[in-house]
Amino acid sequence: MAHARPVPQLPWGWRSMWVIAMFDLPTDTPQARKAYAYFRKNLLDDGFSMMQYSVYTRHCASIENAEVHVNRMGDVVPSAGEVRFLTITDNQFSRVKVYVGKKRQKTPPPPSQLEFF
């Protein structure tokens, strides 16, 4: 009986995947806002986390698992707008660089009354 060759194992950083959902959905009508909220709620319920406005990420153990989540979210995409799913390895995701500009400051409160002196 011949023995099967062992399948080489990929390093963990190449097996585990990140799914990045990027979307631009209209919010100009009450119905569009409802569709946007429904899609966003489905992303959160499926384990996605907000990375920044309209960009959500989810870690997956494998490419097969990532495809399951992409297909599940693809089924609930609203008819208007655009959604893109990007799948990258954990190793690639670890190389994301984040630059933060000057933080916004709160606007000063208006004076309570007009002061002359």
Interval 106-114 mean pLDDT: 60
What confidence tens digit (pLDDT) does each residue in 82-94 have?
999 999 998 898 8
pTM, two decimals, is 0.74
Note the pLDDT of residue 103: 72
Phi, psi of 62 (to 5 degrees): -155, 170
Domains and CATH numbers, the chain: 12-93 (3.30.70.240)
Note the pLDDT of residue 97: 86
Interval 41-55 mean pLDDT: 94
In 3D space, the residue among 86, 76, 88, 82 whose CA is nearest the CA of residue 23 turns out to be 82
Report the C-alpha dihedral over residues 30, 36, 38, 44, rounded to 10 degrees. -150
